[in-house]
Structure 1
Amino acid sequence: MRRRTLLAATGAAAVAASLPREAHAAAAGPDGFATVPGYGLSTTTGGAGGPVVTVSSPAAFLDYINRPGPYVVQVSGTIALPTGTSDGMHPVASHKTIVGLGSTAALTGGGLTIGLPVDDDVTSPPSNAVHNVIIRNLRLSGASDDLINVQMFTHHIWIDHNDLSDGDDGAVDIKRGSDLVTVSWNRFHDHDKTLLLGHDDDNAAQDAGRLRTTYHHNYFDGSDQRHPRVRFAPLVHVYNNYFRDNSYGIASTNDAGLFVEGNYFFSVNNPGRVDFSGPLGRMVQRDNILVECNHAIEVRGTVTDPRTFYPYAVDSAASVPTVVPAGAGVGKV
């Protein structure tokens, strides 16, 4: 099908003039919803203040990420995670920073679950919900399920500057009442169902009013769909992401509210949808650029401005194809 340009880019001069501050690409701390107070926490700090350990074996890695108390777990080299009896999904306990060293740290063959075991009967945040976890500067690939799964009322999570590919299911799934999450400066590639936000159409009891998430400066590099696919969340902020060669970008259903701004969509069949699968969602868009896309971004209803919750700076959408590939992924922090 021949694609049509809906809004042209503004040229190299505009790109050069609008490059962001260096602090953007190598932020020392989280931003977005991960910094919003709630559930007894003022912000996301991960394992700050705890012991710093360096691991290079599966046994040591799995031991430290699931210990009680704060830990900064530094990953050296490639760690092949076992499948075991959990389909290769391994639990992460509260107050952890998991960070790769250099540009070669990798987790292969398995994924990380941040959250308690699934229980459909729990419909409000339990006192022992997992919280305060940071995952940065890692290559995650080849999981037999999700690469990263956030579930069961987990809160205050920052997933930043990772490279995620080739998982059997989601790359980063956030669901079942989880809240106050930021996903930033990651590269997603060679993957199908990339970002799920909200479990399913029948899970309002856990998800409605929660799932507040910020997605910014991510590079969707030929990944296929769900960037993200959202249910029930009252506010999801999607800004300054680079969408390149995807079947669809963003989908909002079940009255979810998406605030979409300053993104660049290149060769994306459906950049943003509210008439998708299930009840209609809500979407507000501003200052996005669409090039060689088949459809416009669908808009519907009203959505709360994210500045109600946190401050942020938006880069020019025209700068996104330069800024995001240069800053996203591993080896940049």
Structure 2
Amino acid sequence: MRRTSARLRLAGAMAVATAIATLGALTTAHGATAETPAPESVTTLSVGTPTGFGAGTTGGAGGSTVTVTNASQFTEAVNRSGALQVRVNGTINLGSMTRVSSNKTIIGVGNNGRITGSGLNVRQASNVIIQNLTFTGSNDDAINIEESTRIWVDHNTLSNAYDGLVDIKRGSDSITVSWNRVTNHDKTMLLGHSDSNGSQDRGKLRVSYHHNWYDGTKQRNPRVRFGNPVHVYNNYYGGVTSYGVASTVEAGVLVEGNYFENVRDPFHLGEGSSPGGSLVARNNHFVNSSTGQTGGSVRSIPYSYSLDNPSSVKSIVMNGAGAGRI
């Protein structure tokens, strides 16, 4: 289902408007100081619902809401126990990777939510939504996910990190990465960190990547180990300079309904010292790009989904992906 449909945009706008209407000042009868934002009653702030493997992720829905404007407020909020919705209004300059605990929604306010300096560490957590944020200039990953389940990374703009932009590893599972724009980066999205981690990763690392805009990135869009099936569908690859998708050790990747433009190597088996996995490609659209390498079989996708016409994916994704587009 297209996330940019008029119905979903209207529903999303109403949800955000309802949420914002309930927000109070940071210093109110709750007695909060500028360093401890006041809780604000709200049902949900995230826009839309995840499809794919991350379906059912609700984040901090049902919890209270805080609005944060600096790093100390942000760090305290995202690591707090219990359900919480965190509105990011301004630039949050982090000095190191910041732990995110379970049952959190982290969402940017309009075009104002920015994370710089370092990134988010979603570790040993479940039920987390990261939406409508701009990540740039991390001294590590922009978003690292490990030993975690039910995660939705949606409608963010990510660039220029020291390591990965969205890395998923160490037995993480049931994740959707959707409608993100990634640019100005080398090693974009890693799924599974080591060929020797099969005992933890087999049967897990099931991730849906859909409607993302890989805008002139270099490689790992994504690079996959062990996950089977992994579903890469309806993404736009524009000017990717090394390769798009790599299926390596024991992975099974379905590459479906994507638009590849000016991509010399859209997808292949094996990468570096990692042996080849399996990759099935179908219904992709190629413009000035090779047709890629396939082989082996992939487990059936266990959920229902609708594909956009591959030839329309470029315009759909360019008009809908990234922060500020929900």
Q: Does 1:32 align with 2:52?
A: yes
Of the three residues 181, 184, 192, the one matched with 1:190 is: 184
Q: SS state of the match for residue 103, structure 1? A: strand
The corresponding residue for 1:332 is 325
What is the deviation of 1:303? 1.1
Contact between 1:249 and 1:270, CA under 8 Å: does it hold in 2? yes
In the alignment, residue 217 of structure 2 is paired with which amino acid? S
The corresponding residue for 1:180 is 174
The corresponding residue for 1:311 is 304
The corresponding residue for 1:73 is 86
What is the deviation of 1:22? 3.5
Q: How does 1:189-268 map to 2 (within 5 A)?
A: 189-246=183-240, 247-268=242-263
Contact between 2:249 and 2:270, CA under 8 Å: does it hold in 1? no
Report percent identity of matched pairs: 48
Q: How does 1:127-166 map to 2 (within 5 A)?
A: 129-151=124-146, 153-166=147-160
Contact between 1:20 and 1:315, CA under 8 Å: does it hold in 2? no
Q: Which runs of 4+ in 1 moved over 4 A?
A: 23-27
Q: Name the CA shift for 1:19/1:75 in 2 (closer, same or farther; >3 Å).
A: closer
The 2-side partners of 1:73 and 1:330 are apart by: 16
Of the three residues 109, 114, 139, the one matched with 1:106 is: 114
Q: SS state of the match for residue 239, structure 2? A: strand
Of the three residues 284, 287, 290, the one matched with 1:288 is: 284
Contact between 2:278 and 2:294, CA under 8 Å: does it hold in 1? yes
What is the deviation of 1:176? 0.5
Of the three residues 271, 276, 292, the one matched with 1:297 is: 292
What is the deviation of 1:104? 2.3
Q: Name the CA shift for 1:89/1:19 in 2 (closer, same or farther; >3 Å).
A: closer
Q: Which has the higher contact order (CA 8 A, sep 6+)?
A: 1
The 2-side partners of 1:171 and 1:251 are apart by: 16
TM-score, normalization by structure 1: 0.83
The corresponding residue for 1:60 is 73
> Which segment is superposed worse, 277-286 or 256-265?
277-286
The 2-side partners of 1:24 and 1:287 are apart by: 26
The corresponding residue for 2:316 is 323
Number of paired residues? 287
Contact between 1:19 and 1:323, CA under 8 Å: does it hold in 2? no
Q: CA RMSD in A?
A: 1.6
In the alignment, residue 104 of structure 1 is paired with which amino acid? N
1:177-224: CA deviations, max 9, x gaps?
000000000000011100000011111111111100000000001111
What is the deviation of 1:235? 0.7
Q: Name the CA shift for 1:20/1:100 in 2 (closer, same or farther; >3 Å).
A: closer
The 1-side partners of 2:85 and 2:190 are apart by: 27
Q: SS state of the match for residue 243, structure 2? A: strand
Q: Name the CA shift for 1:19/1:174 in 2 (closer, same or farther; >3 Å).
A: closer
What is the deviation of 1:67? 0.4
1:65-98: CA deviations, max 9, x gaps?
000000000000111112xxxxx11100000000
The 2-side partners of 1:254 and 1:131 are apart by: 26
The 2-side partners of 1:227 and 1:23 are apart by: 30
1:138-197: CA deviations, max 9, x gaps?
00010000000001x200000000000000000000001000000000000011100000
In the alignment, residue 252 of structure 2 is paired with which amino acid? G
Unpaired runs of at least 5, structure 2? 13-46
TM-score, normalization by structure 2: 0.85
